[in-house]
């Protein structure tokens, strides 16, 4: 789910990478191109176990690997025309304040539940009425990234989190860009993942990389996000689609 605490002029070229981690956790990397007139937050609901602690999410700094997704595309050779198109994408009571972590060029916080948003600055919250329209997320936690105004490509935002349902890889793809929940939304996404040997269900509509990740990714800069010996999978989602998250 990609939602913003303030209106945005444009969001495009979204890239998401996901991989299962140890002990039921999941890695997630997110990048996009954004244009906004004021400081705001991008909020990613994530399916964590109930009553997760404030430090349940581990944020990972990829500031030194801004080309994470550009390199990822190298694992999927394409005809020249299609390659050019995809390369464009590969960009009341006083509560205790939530911890804020410096992660490269932005700040990040983990919000354990909807009720904890009042522990964040007003600029970085969504109205409570929005969550009333999304009962699915009442038990979710939220990774919140505080972004500066202007037009820019955000270097990849990465973290790992404990999953309520470790058997599935989760992609946050629901859109809220104007403070409202719509049944459909315009997508401009490339999704990538790696799978463990225990994840044996077939991935339909996904393309497999021609080689393991170590042949096209800078493993030394990936901060443990990648399995160097595993292949990657890719799926493009574009145009108007049902506004929902994706599980694999």
Tell me, rounded to whole angstroms, the distance of Cα 222 from its chain centroid: 16
Residues 6 or more apart whose CB falls under 8 angstroms from that of 201 comprise none
d(CA 100, CA 109): 5
Beta partners for residue 184, in sequence order = 242
Read off the pTM. Answer: 0.85
pLDDT tops 80 at residue 141 = yes
pLDDT number for residue 92: 40
pLDDT number for residue 164: 93
- How many of the other CB atoms lie within 10 Å of CB of 204? 7
Average pLDDT (162-187) is 84
Give 149 or 171, the one with higher predicted confidence. Answer: 171
Residue ranges of the domains in the chain? 2-91+93-247
d(CA 91, CA 70): 8
Q: SS3 for 140?
A: coil
pLDDT number for residue 96: 59
Tell which CATH classification among 1.20.1250, 2.60.250, 3.10.20, 3.90.25 matches the domain 2-91+93-247: 2.60.250
pLDDT tops 60 at residue 199 = yes
């Amino acid at each position: 789910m990609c939602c913003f605490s303030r209106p945005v002029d444009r969001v495009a070229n979204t890239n998401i990478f996901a991989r299962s981690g140890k002990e039921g956790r999941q890695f997630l990397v997110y990048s996009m191109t954004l244009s906004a007139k004021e400081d705001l937050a991008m909020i990613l609901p994530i399916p964590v176990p109930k009553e997760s602690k404030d430090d349940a999410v581990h944020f990972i700094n990829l500031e030194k690997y801004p080309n994470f997704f550009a390199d990822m595309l190298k694992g999927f050779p394409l005809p020249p025309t299609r390659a050019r198109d995809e390369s464009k994408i590969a960009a009341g009571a006083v509560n205790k304040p939530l911890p804020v972590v410096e992660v490269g060029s932005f700040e990040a916080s983990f919000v354990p539940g909807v009720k904890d948003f009042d522990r964040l600055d007003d600029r970085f919250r969504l109205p409570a009425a929005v969550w009333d329209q999304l009962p699915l997320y009442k038990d979710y936690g939220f990774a919140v990234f505080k972004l500066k105004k202007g037009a820019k490509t955000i270097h990849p935002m990465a973290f790992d989190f404990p999953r309520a349902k470790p058997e599935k890889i989760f992609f946050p793809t629901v859109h809220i860009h104007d403070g409202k929940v719509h049944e459909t939304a315009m997508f401009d996404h490339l999704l990538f993942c790696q799978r463990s040997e225990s994840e044996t269900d077939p991935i339909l509509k996904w393309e497999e990389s021609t080689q393991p990740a170590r042949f096209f990714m800078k493993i030394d800069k990936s901060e443990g996000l990648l399995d160097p010996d595993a292949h990657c999978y890719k799926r493009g989602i574009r145009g108007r689609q049902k506004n929902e998250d994706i599980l694999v």
